[in-house]
Amino acid sequence: MGVFELGKMTLEGLFKKPETVLYPFETVTEPPGFRGHIEIDETKCILCSMCARACTTGCIEVDKKGSTWSIKPFACVQCGLCVEVCPKSCLAMEVSRTAVGRKPSEIVLVVPEKPKPERKPRPAVAAKGVAAPADDDPKVADEGAKAPLSPELEAEIAKRIEGLDPERAEKVRAGLIARARRAEAQKKTGGQTAEAETKAPVPEGVEA
């Protein structure tokens, strides 16, 4: 840039209206695509911390124990990553600018507790009035194991535990009976038969 051109620009600058405004006393209209600041609908937040993990500058903090979500607005660079990763879509980029302040501030919001979902009761087993065995309730599973079995089921279970040591055979038998009871309960809704369920591969967690 030549000296004359530079001098012309300097002189022009002396008489032109300044490009800047006295924010926050004066504002200009935000241009299209302007990313203002982060807003949260804390009633939808589940405190999963995904936004905090994704945050480029580490300005979001999530305290699950204390049920708080906080942000340091002046440290935010408006990259929008937190908005993208939030599984509950509770974060948004609001067009308006970050509120001004003399000191770096932190906004701390208390996230309201969500009502716990109700657990559905397990369906009762129609056959012989035995309650459906629960995998996580050994007492119920044991009671189910003691209920009489059909000869076909006994034969199938005997085949599966053949050759196992007595302790392991007992465990496998209890697991297979529990699954058979479940299958009986599902029969009503078009599920598998007890024998078909027993023939299925033994899943992880149940020894076979």
Nearest distance in Å: CB 32, ligand SF4: 18
Tell the smallest beta-carbon distance from residue 132 to ligand SF4 (Å).
35
Q: How far is the CB of 73 from ligand SF4 (least distance, A)?
A: 8
Nearer to ligand SF4, 74 or 193 (CB): 74
Angle at which helix 151-161 crosses helix 166-187, to 10 degrees, equals 140
| Minimum distance, C-beta of residue 98 to ligand SF4, in the bound complex (Å) | 10
Closest to ligand SF4 by CB, 81 or 206: 81
205 phi-psi bin (left φ>0, alpha ψ -120 to 50, beta other): left
Cβ distance to ligand SF4 smaller for residue 59 or 180: 59
Specify the amino acid at residue 74.
Answer: F
Give 91 or 178: the residue with its C-beta nearer to ligand SF4.
91
* Helix/strand/coil (H/E/C) assignment for every residue in the chain: CCHHHHHHHHHHHHHCCCCCCCCCCCCCCCCCCCCCEEEECCCCCCCCCHHHHHCCCCCEEEECCCCEEEECHHHCCCCCHHHHHCCCCCEEEECCCCCCCCCCCCEEEECCCCCCCCCCCCCCCCHHHCCCCCCCCHHHHHHHHHCCCCHHHHHHHHHHHCCCCHHHHHHHHHHHHHHHHHHHHHHCCCCCCHHHHHHCCCCCCCCC
Which residues contribute to the site for ligand SF4 (CB under 6 A)?
38, 40, 45-51, 54-57, 59-60, 62, 69, 71, 76-82, 86-88, 90-91
Residue 76 near residue 54, CB atoms below 8 Å: no
Tell me how far, at minimum, the Cβ of 111 lies from ligand SF4, in Å: 7
The nearer residue to ligand SF4, 36 or 191, going by C-beta atoms, is 36
Minimum Å distance from CB 83 to ligand SF4? 7
Query: Which CB atom, from 40 or from 149, has the smaller least distance to ligand SF4?
Result: 40
